[in-house]
Each structure stands twice: as C-alpha cells, then as structure tokens.
Amino acid sequence: MKKLFISGVALALLWSCENKKANQQEADAYIKEYSQQFQKLYTLSAEAEWNSNIRIVEGDSSNAIATRQANEAMAAFTGSEENIKKTRDLLEDKNNLTDLQVKQLEAILFAAANNPQTVPEVVKKRIKAETEQTEKLFGFDFKLSGKSVSTNQIDSILREERNLDKRQQAWEASKEVGKVLKSGLVNLRNLRNETVQALGYDDYFSYQASDYGMQRAEMMDLMRRINQELLPLYRELHTYARYELAKKYKQPQVPDLLPAHWLPNRWGQDWSSIVAVEGINLDQVLRAKGPEWQVQQAERFYQSLGFPALPKSFYEKSSLYPVPAGAPYKKNNHASAWHMDLDKDVRSLMSVEPNSEWYETTHHELGHVYYFMTYSNPEVPVLLRGGANRAFHEAMGSLMGLAAMQKPFLVQLNLINPATKTDEVQSLLKEALNYVVFIPFASGVMSEFEHDLYAKNLDPKDFNQRWWELSAQYQGMAPPTQRGPEFADAASKTHINDDPAQYYDYALSYIILFQLHDHIAKNILKQDPHATNYYGNKAVGQFLTSIMYPGESGDWRKMLKEKTGEDLSARAMVAYFEPLMQYLKVQNKGRKYTM
C-alpha cells in the first residue's frame, strides 16, 4: 500500500511537471509570435508619429493620415479579441508560468486595454482625435503683437524681460492655444475613458496608475504625501519669491499669490532663472560654443562613464535643432527621446539653442536614449524594454541633468574657472527653484487636474476654474487677470494632450533622482551631494547600468530598495535642501506667509 501511495505521488508530480512544461512552452510560443508582430507594428507606428512631429505643414494631411493608419493597425493587433482571450487564458494558470512570462503577458493585456477591439469604433475615433490634436498643438501659430513667434522666443521673454506689460502679453500669447485645443481635449477624455472601461478599468487615470501596481486612490495619496513632505521648504521658497520678484519689478505691494506672468516659466513649474549665481554665467559661455557642441558634449559625458558612442543613425535621423527661420513647416517644440524599433534605432527630438536650459535638457534627453540602448539587450524581452517603472526613465534623465550642472563638473569641462568663487547657498537656492518648485505643479496641479478630468468627468465649463483653483492651492499662483471658461489654460501643457494622466511620473522621478544621487555621492564618489563630479567615473556608470540593464523585467520597488537601501521616500530630497532652510527663514523673517 505504501509503495502504491509513493508511486501515486510520483505520478502526480510527474504529471504536474509535464503540465507546467507544456504551459510554459505554449506561453513561450505565443509570446514569441506576438512580440515579432508587435515590434514590427510598433516601428511602423513610431515612424509615422515621428514624421508627424518633425514636419507639420498647414493644410497637408498626408502625415496625419499615415499616422492614423499605422496607429490603427497597431491598435487592431494589440487590442484584438483573440489576443485578449489568449492572454487571459494563459494567465489563469500563471502559477505554472515563469515570472518573466507572467510579466510579458501582463504587458500584453495592459497594451490591449488601451486599444480593445471589443469597441473598435471607439478606438478608431480616439486615434483620429489624438492625431488631430497633435497637429493642432504643434502646428499652432503663436502670435505676439500680431507677429508669429516660437515658444523658445516666448520662453526667452519670460526669462529675461523686466517690463510687466510685455511679460503679460507673452504669457497670454502662450495660453491662446488652449482655446483651440479645448473641444478636442473633451472629446479625447471621453474616448480614452471609453477604451479602457471596455477592459474593466474605472477610468483612464486608474488605467495609467495600474502600471505601477497601484490603485488610483493609492497614487493620489502618494502624491499628496510627497507634497506635504516638501511643503515647509516650498512655503519658504514661495515667500522668498513673492518678495524678491516684487522688488525686481518695482511693485509697491507684495501679492499673496504669485502672478503667473512674473515667473520665468509658462506654467510656473521652474523658477530657477530668478537667481543668478555669481561667477557662473553659462549662457554666455555656451553661446560661444553653439548648439551642436551641447549635444556632442552630453554624449561625451555618457561615454566618460563607460557607455558606448551613440549610433551614427542617431545624428542622421534625429531632429535636434530649431526649424530654420522662414521654413514652410513647423515641428513639435517639446524635447523628447524616441526608441523607434525597441532595438538599435534611437533618436531625439529637440530644438537645441546654446543656453543653460538646453545644456541641461540635452543631458536629460540623452539619459533616455542611453536607457533605451542599455536595456535593448538579449536578456530583456522586447515587451519589457522600458524603464523599471515610467518614473525611472525620467529619473535617469533628470539625474544626469543635475550632475551636469554641479560646480566640480562644470570646472572639469572648463565651463567655469576653477578659481571662481561661488555662493553655495545661491547655488542651492537655484536648484531648489527648479527641483522643489516643480513638485507642487507635477504632483499637485497636474495630477489633481487630470484625476478630476478622467475620474470625475470634470465639466468643460469648469476646466479653467479648476486649473486655477489648483494652481492657487498647490503653487500659490494666480493668473494676471481673470481667465474665464472660454479658456483652457491646462491644455497649453503638452502632456495634457499627448501624454495623458501620468504627469505624476515626473514628480516620482524627482524623488527617485535624489535617492539615486544621494547614494552615488555618499557611497560611490564619497563626495558632498551638493558638489559632485560624475564625469569619467566608471563606477558611477556601472551603478547606472545595473539599474538600466534589466528594463522593466524586475520589480521596481525591490530594485530601488536594493540599489539605495531605502523605499520610495522624499527623505533624500528634503535632506539635500536642508542647508537652504535656515537661510530662507532668515531672509523671510518678518515677511507674510500665504501658503
């Protein structure tokens, strides 16, 4: 009897092993076939999107038609009922699959929810609407005093002009595009919600948050916690800025809310150009070097860490500089990095000019490009060639932007004289006006607005009111004049239109950035986090490669804990700016706090 029992157990185990092996073989075959077709269609879609972004000609719909056709083909495949059913069937028995197989199948299902062919007409309408919205956004003719201007020119006015009337005119000109985009945004909101609801998501915001393994409420709780952790410092920065800008513009009254046109950024998300650090005039030095030098120097930085040279095709196929004056076309004016085929074809879309803002941006965008190149390796399946999570991609780019702006780094590149004495507090203040100031905008204004847009079906007549309520609450900012319901100032932000319901990625990226930087400075470089020099340090390159290499094939929470020794937290960011707090409290003594 005992012998028979053992034999029965052995047979059961044998059957279980054979069954597991068969399931894994079936999953492998399906994933391989799916991946080949996915990569092919992804590449065609990326090429069409690329052409639509680099050459926008008024009245010429050929790129729009090609983009729509490519995206419809991609949607028909990724969202096909056959793929949805097959993937769900395989996942029902996921205990018999490998972790890597489960991750790939979940990625297939996530992609399907964005284009489910259970509602094919909705998906087609959405693709058409998104293509049209992109053309309206980047083909918009911004005008100032009746003359066409670029967004780079508007940004330059907001950084440098001291006449408040001229600043207000430039700021208002930058918002005119919102009126043109408002109806399209309403349509897109409805279509995006409908597509993901077909696969069981409550709304599009919930769908995007699920990519982090989080519910919508969890993501918003995290955003609000980050804001609270940084509020004491932001409150000091906000008070300081109100008084200093009132002085700069010779205004007798210090407003409780910062007028939006006083700030050097169209959305008030970066105030760093308010402060000039004595001894550092990067704009002057960079003007002499030209825009091409900036891109090439950013590449040299990555190579100094041990990364390879960019492929020749990067320079041949990228669109790196502004459209020539008088050209019969426009292009997307927002910097971005593109992984065209999920393999070797990497590109960047920028409008590089020789100034410090673009110097930092080139380092940031190449961070994305090198991330693409690093996880495009035989150990990472095509379907998992992405960041550890979406925020990691941004964190890597922003980390390199931060590193490239620190004094020891700039000294090594001869961008500043090593004998130059700089005010370290002012340097820290300038950084805070970039990184800290961004958090209330990203985790507060943008995330709350898009949450209400998708999860609460925010009424179109309330778009502008809600936008400015949130700006007042989180940024302590107000428009220069009353902005009625005919405006849609939120829609002037690129991401609202073409990268929807995931702007919290950027807030999380800054938190991760400071965790990574803190670890690199203290444990690899053994340097003060405020004065590091990554340049030429191969150990730093190896650390970054260890994060980039697996793509999204691992668990991002485990990776962060393993690499930095701590869970996701604003601790490192708060600690970095702690020396600034005492300075600001002294500066703000006797001043009125309004946050």
What single string gives the DSSP state of each residue in 462-525?
Answer: GHHHHHHHHIIIII-EE-SS---TT--GGGGSHHHHHSTT-THHHHHHHHHHHHHHHHIIIIII
Q: What domains can be seen in the chain, in order of their start residue?
A: 216-587 (1.10.1370.30)
Please identify every stretch of the chain with a pLDDT value under 50, giving residue numbers as ranges.
1-5
CB 468 within 8 A of CB 489: yes
Q: Burial letters for 334-371: b for 16+ Cβ neighbours within 10 Å, e otherwise?
A: bbebbbbbbeebbbbbbbbbbbbbbbbbbbbbbbbbbb
* Eight-state DSSP code of residue 323: P
Q: Residue 22: its pLDDT value, please?
A: 87
In this prediction, residue 1 carries a pLDDT of 39
pTM of the model: 0.89
Can you name the residues that pair with 259 across neighbouring β-strands? 478
pLDDT in tens, 142-198: 999 999 999 989 999 999 999 999 999 999 999 999 999 999 999 999 999 999 999
For residue 350, the one-letter residue type is M
pLDDT at 7: 57
For residue 589, what pLDDT is reported? 97
